[in-house]
Every structure is written in structure tokens, then in C-alpha cells.
Chain A
């Protein structure tokens, strides 16, 4: 009889991942779906370009005008949506695994808030004097500082995941109000930019600046996280079981939190604080492929990409000529989803 699983492991590199065959199929289907939405989304907008023409452009044989629209305007945005969505989703999947609470995500725990505060501070301190491509660094730093603070504050003979979330909620409320203060106090044009950032929007991204900055981060971090799949699975069992299974719980937790922060920070640096993707995507993924992290990671990355693709598509086409920040759309679907989760999990602690 054929096994349901296929295992990939290496003694030397120290990793072992169990892959379910069903996951491979679902991943393939999602990949195709994602690609299709990307092509269609590239065609949609104030000027309609048919999917065939989009593909032609991608092959380098399109009409010159289509070439400009696709390559300069729409394609960067679509690719950014994929990268940002995937990073946020995986950051959330890792965090939910460690915190063992399905309601946790980088935005609820204050990590996104820290990242966006870093960026807002950057805008206000160096608005105009320092080149903008340093901004990702500022937002990653913000995420690291806030998470470090969170980590230290919730440390009491090890990090209690629930304390981490509660303190995160308090911290992020305080950070948000400081960001608001900067926005109110500062000059108008900076205010609008900062607020867009805090809401999360991938309006006006460019290929060489944004996509190429984010791509290596996302690719490397996703790979690293996938190699850590086993420790996420162990963490999900709870501290006692994990410890008796021989895991160095606190050290693993630190590594995983660091990965999650880096992913969220990089995504926020480009797309701003887009809410609730880190919450929704991992849930849908677990529904589809079960809770083994080796399967959850690719599926939730693809789902995150898909959610942001669709949210951004809706944000820029439904309200024409206005371009609503995608973060508003994700929050509008995310909050009811969260309520649904609360309802679903009503009988567990």
C-alpha cells in the first residue's frame, strides 16, 4: 500500500519534513489559482487588458502601450501583493503555532504595529533627507525592538505565550497612539503618507525598488522557516510535552519568533501594516491540509498571497477613481473572520 506521506530529511543539515501527498495537490491547485488571479488582476483596472495580451506582454511580445501599463504599473503591484501576502501569512502561521492560540497573529500581538511605527518615525525624522529605500530597515528594526520588548516583558522563567499576546495588545495600543501623535503634529504631506502606511497599501510600488527589495527577504525567510517546520510542530504540543520530547523549548521559540518578526517586518516595510492576513491564511490552510506545519506553510503562504491579491484588486477597482488602501479591505473581511474564529473556538481555553 502506498503511504500517505513522503518524508524529506537530511541528517547533516538537521532537518526533517513530512510531506503529505494531499498537500502537494492542494499546493499545485493554489499555485495555478494564484497565477490565474495574477494574470487577470494585471489586466483589470481603468484600462482593460485581456489575459492573452497580458501573457503576450510577459513573453515580451505585447503592444508597447500594454507593455508600459503592465510592466510599470500593474505587475509590480501584483507581485508585491503576492510577496507581502505570503510573508504575512507565514509569519502568522508560525506565531499561531508557538502561541498555541488560533487567535494570535502579528497584528494582534503588536509586531506589525512596531514595524509600522519604525517606518512612521523614519518618515518624520528623515522625511526627504535619507533615501526612501532605507525605510524597510527602519520598519524591521521597529518590529525587532517591539518584539524584543515584548519578549523581555513577558519573560517569567520562559515566555508564556498568552502573556505575550496580552502585553502585545497593550503595547500596540500605546505605540499606535504615539504614531498618531506624530501624524497630528507633523506636516500634512507626511501625515498622509504615514497614515497610508499604518493602514497598509501597495499603491504605487515599483519593480526595482520594492519588488526586488522584498523578494530576497521573502524567499530566504520562507525557506528557513520551512526548515524549522519540525520545531513548530513540537511547540504546538505545549511546553511540557515538547520538553519531554527533548526539545529545547525556549531556544526554539526564540528562533521561531525571530523568523516570524523578520517576515512580518519585511512585509510591512513594503506594504505597510496590512491587517488580519496573518490571522486568516493559516486558519484556512489548517482547514485544508491539517495541522502539520510542513504542509501548513506553503498552503498558507499561497492563501495569504491570494487574499492580498484579491483584496488589492477589489480596493483598486471597486471604488474607481479612488484607490482605497488594501488594508481597509483585509480588515473588513478579517474582523468578521476573527469573530467567527472566536465562535468556533468558544469551547476551548
Chain B
């Protein structure tokens, strides 16, 4: 049954991707979309499809999938329902390091950005994780969430300070403040794909162990799991997934919170299902949010990161109100 639903969702994903390629400021008929792949003729419409729309839809789908899976993995690892790359400071760390490297070392290639983003994600995520888990009662959701919020505030101030003191950087950094999938090309996606794929594979391979880990550290250890090893691999997966996403799309908020919660509602608590469902639904969410973002202030576009941030608030409120799960 779950396989059937998953394939239906995959079909839905294909559907929104096609829509995302066809609709926008210029609406392009579906047969034209198909034609541009089969008989590319260099017309304006074909150009739009191949150079902007298709990369954009694919980037949105990959980033959405990665962030959702990263969120799901983080939630089980930290036992915190509000954990996600954006709340625990991973995204903002990665972003700040990209900007710092661009300003200080003059880096600009997608490949180097990706490495810098991974380092930033690892550093800030690791620090938040560490600060949130010291103490007798171990990691509590409140502690780690507060640590994440402080880290985010810290990096945001530094980023803004950098922008304001160096006028030349202002334009370039502006793009990095809120996540967006617009105006990227295929090469940028290709540069981060390997990292995303490896991260995704690690996460999927871990899913069975995550089920055990979800029962609690003591229980998992009692069942013979080497929890430290599993957590380390989980952290590597999260860093690859979130760092790769930020390197291509900037900090996109809350996808990692919204999706795992919907998915748990749909398929229960088995991570072997949660992770693939999260990937597909995350992709659907970001592609459709991106599609929607073209229509809100037409012909201008709202960055998709703003859309997800607003969509995420109800989830945040719901989870916080439901009470603390420790």
C-alpha cells in the first residue's frame, strides 16, 4: 500500500515539475515544453525552458528533498520535533561561511562554495549539537533549540555587518540573505549533486538504525547498536544534505520541519518509509512553493525561502503547543 502511495506522490512530483517548467511570467504550452526536449530549435520559449525553467525546477526538487530528509534525520537524532537545518543553525552557518569566503578569499565558483558551505554547516551544526547536549539531563529540545536560535542570530548579525561595512559586497550578498532557486543554472546543480546524492544514500542506509535510535539512546545501546557511530553517520548525512542545499539555493527555512511532520502523520514512525516519503514530499513542497512564488507579486518574484518561512509558522506553533516530547 505504501509503495502505491509513494508512486502516486512521485507522479504528483513529476506533475508539479512539468507545471513549474510551463507556467510563470511567460506561460508555455505543454506540447512546446515537450518539443524543446525533442526538437530544440533555439526559439525564445525553448531557450527559457532549457536554460532557466528546467534547472530551476530540478534545483527546487533536489533542495526540497535534501532539506526534508535532513530535517527528519535531525529530529530523530536530537529527539526534538522542531529540529531542522534552519532552526539548529546549520543553514545560517553555511550561508555565513559562503559569504565570508566570497568577501575574504574572493571565492566565486560553485565547487568552492559547496566545500565552504559544508564546512560552515559542520561547524555551526556541531557547535549547536554540542552545546545543546551537555549537562546531566543530556539533550533537551529547549536547550538545543535555544542554542540554534542564538547561533542563527549570531551569524545573521555578522552577515549583515559584513554587508553594511563593505558597499561593494552589498549586491552580491543580498542574494544570499533569503533562499531562492531562481536564476541558477544547470552547472550549479551539477556541482552539488554528488554531495547531495551521497548524503541521501547515507540517510537511506541509516533508516533501519534510526528506527532503533528513535527508541532512545539507552534502549538502542541495549539492543547492541553502536549509537555514537550511527549518530556520526547521521551528522555526516545532514551536513552533506543541508550544506549542499545551501550552496546552491541559500538558506531555505522550515522545509525540514514541515515535511517530516506531515510524513509521520501519513506513514507512521518507520524511518524506512519516513525518509523516502520525506524526500518526495519535500521536493513537491519546494517546487510548488516556487511555482506559487511567481504568482504572488507578478511580474516580480517572491524568494521561495520567504514562502516556506511563512508556511512553516503554523507547524512551529502546532508543535510547540502540543507540548514537549522529551
Contact = CB atoms under 8 A, between A and B. Distances in A.
Given A166-B142, A325-B161, A174 B310 contact: yes
Interface centre among B140, B178, B310, B312 (most CB of A within 10 A): B178
Nearest to B160: A199
A163 B312 CA distance: 16
A170 interface: yes
Contact residues of A: prevailing secondary structure: helix
B178 A324 contact: no
A174 B305 contact: no
Contacts of B147: 338-339, 342
A164 to B, nearest CB: 9
Contacts of B320: 154, 163, 166-167, 170
Contact of A153 (B152, B312, B317): B317
Contact of B309 (A173, A276, A322, A330): A173
A122 to B, nearest CB: 19
Contacts of A171: 313, 316
Nearest to A324: B165
A127 B135 CA distance: 49
Contact of A169 (B145, B165, B302): B145
Interface string A269-307: 000000110000000000000000000000000000000
Contacts of A177: 178, 253, 303, 305-306, 309-310
B25 to A, nearest CB: 15
B191 interface: no
Interface residues of A, number: 54
A309 interface: no
Contacts of B136: 346-347
Given A191-B174, A332-B157, A178 B151 contact: no
B165 to A, nearest CB: 5
Interface stretch (A17-25, A86-94, A179-187, A239-247): A179-187
B163 A195 contact: yes
A275 B161 CA distance: 12
A199 B157 contact: yes
A328 B149 contact: no
Nearest to A182: B306
A327 interface: yes
B82 interface: yes
B85 interface: no
Given A153-B321, A276-B153, A169 B87 contact: yes
A101 B313 CA distance: 23
Interface string B130-154: 0110111100101101110111111
Interface centre among A171, A173, A334 (most CB of B within 10 A): A173
A328 B321 contact: no
A63 interface: no
Contact of B306 (A108, A156, A180, A330): A180
Interface in B278-326: 297, 300, 302-303, 305-306, 309-310, 312-313, 316-317, 320-321, 324
Contact of B86 (A173, A183, A201): A173
A174 B253 contact: yes
B302 A108 contact: no
Interface string B16-39: 000000000000000000000000
Contacts of B310: 174, 177-178
19 contacts: A108-B150, A153-B317, A154-B320, A167-B321, A169-B316, A171-B316, A173-B309, A177-B178, A177-B305, A177-B306, A178-B309, A184-B174, A275-B153, A324-B161, A325-B160, A330-B157, A335-B150, A335-B151, A339-B150
Given A154-B321, A177-B306, 20 more contacts: A103-B146, A153-B321, A163-B320, A167-B320, A169-B149, A169-B316, A170-B82, A170-B320, A171-B313, A173-B87, A180-B178, A180-B306, A191-B170, A201-B164, A276-B153, A328-B158, A331-B153, A342-B134, A347-B135, A349-B140
